[in-house]
């Protein structure tokens, strides 16, 4: 098992890229409602336009957990959750507010940004559960692989995405569309979205893995979460102990 070597980048360099990375993470989340209303064709399959955006959130979660550790990823997940709630509230508020007399595009607004509370709850629930599942699996697999890169790194990216995206697809479609779609169509849609998002992650590996490893060099940190010292409770708010450092390759 890895030695407990504390990761303490210098104060001037510590997590200096975490803020812009969080910004991209949140931007992708906020884009999801405005892209979800259009369905796009992928061969014989129809997918929500948000399928192009949402996997980026998982890719960034993988990178954040890989580089900074579970505790930092947890902070970013909660930040994204808060921004999602804020965006949903203002989409709703603007949508229900009486329109100016000269403005006659309410139907267009509602078709793109309007949503029901059921879909909102489905989206937030799916995001919360799937992101924490994804980050937990990434963290544990990295520790037991001693922070190994190459095939081991690709394996934990894919494994965490397979489980996380399945959780996301099942919760979102189950909460949002159970009783609306026929059971067979619901299962088919869940499987299609799950496989499409997972394939997205696999195709992105030649970019996401080198990016994570570059980020480790720039930030001077390669966190390795010791399960004996890491609190995996999603609701933990107390400052966690510093993670251990992955062995230098």
Report if residue 87 sits inside a domain. yes
Q: How much is the pLDDT for 166? A: 94
Q: Count the alpha carbons within 13 Å of 164 in the hemisphere toward its beta carbon.
A: 28
Domain span at residue 111? 18-100+107-220
Report if residue 70 sits inside a domain. yes
Q: How much is the pLDDT for 203? A: 94
Report if residue 249 sits inside a domain. no
Q: How much is the pLDDT for 112? A: 81
Q: Is 0.95 surpassed by the pTM of this model?
A: no
Q: Count the alpha carbons within 13 Å of 4 in the hemisphere toward its beta carbon.
A: 7
Q: How much is the pLDDT for 9? A: 42
Residue written as token pair 């010292």: 229
Strand, helix or coil for residue 80: helix
Query: CA torsion 152→169→206→210, rounded to 10°?
Result: -70
Q: How much is the pLDDT for 8? A: 40
Torsion-angle region of residue 15: left (phi > 0), alpha (psi -120 to 50) or beta?
Answer: left
Instruction: Give the residue among 49, 129, 149, 99 at the shortest CA–CA distance from 107.
Output: 99
User: What's the domain count of the chain?
Assistant: 1
Rounded distance between C-alpha atoms, residue 231 and residue 214, angstroms: 27
- Averages of pLDDT over each 10 residues, the chain, 249 residues: 40 71 92 80 77 88 95 94 91 92 90 80 91 96 94 95 93 86 87 88 94 94 93 78 59
Q: How much is the pLDDT for 19? A: 92
Rounded distance between C-alpha atoms, residue 74 and residue 60, angstroms: 12
Report if residue 10 sits inside a domain. no
**For residue 118, what is the domain's CATH number?**
1.10.1760
Report if residue 230 sits inside a domain. no
Report if residue 165 sits inside a domain. yes
Rounded distance between C-alpha atoms, residue 93 and residue 61, angstroms: 30
Rounded distance between C-alpha atoms, residue 48 and residue 172, angstroms: 13
Rounded distance between C-alpha atoms, residue 231 and residue 213, angstroms: 25
Q: How much is the pLDDT for 45? A: 73
């Amino acid at each position: 098992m890895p030695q407990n070597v504390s990761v303490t980048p210098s104060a001037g360099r510590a997590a200096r890229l975490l803020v812009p990375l969080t910004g991209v993470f949140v931007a992708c989340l906020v884009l999801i409602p405005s892209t979800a209303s259009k369905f796009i064709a992928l061969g014989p399959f129809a997918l929500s336009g948000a399928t192009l955006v949402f996997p980026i959130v998982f890719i960034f979660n993988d990178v954040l957990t890989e580089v900074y550790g579970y505790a930092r990823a947890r902070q970013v997940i909660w930040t994204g959750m808060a921004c999602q709630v804020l965006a949903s509230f203002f989409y709703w508020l603007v949508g229900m507010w009486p329109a100016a007399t000269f403005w006659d595009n309410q139907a267009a607004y509602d078709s793109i940004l309007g949503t029901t509370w059921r879909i909102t709850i489905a989206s937030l629930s799916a995001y919360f559960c799937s992101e924490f599942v994804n980050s937990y699996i990434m963290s544990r697999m990295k520790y037991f692989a001693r922070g190994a890169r190459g095939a081991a790194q690709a394996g934990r990216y894919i494994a965490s995405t397979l489980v996380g995206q399945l959780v996301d697809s099942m919760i979102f479609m189950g909460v949002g569309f159970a009783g609306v779609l026929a059971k067979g169509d619901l299962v088919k849609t869940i499987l299609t979205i799950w496989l499409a998002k997972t394939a997205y992650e696999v195709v992105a590996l030649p970019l996401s893995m080198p990016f994570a490893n570059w980020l480790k060099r720039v930030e001077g940190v390669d966190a390795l979460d010791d399960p004996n010292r890491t609190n995996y409770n999603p609701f933990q708010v107390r400052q966690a102990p510093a993670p251990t450092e992955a062995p230098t390759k």
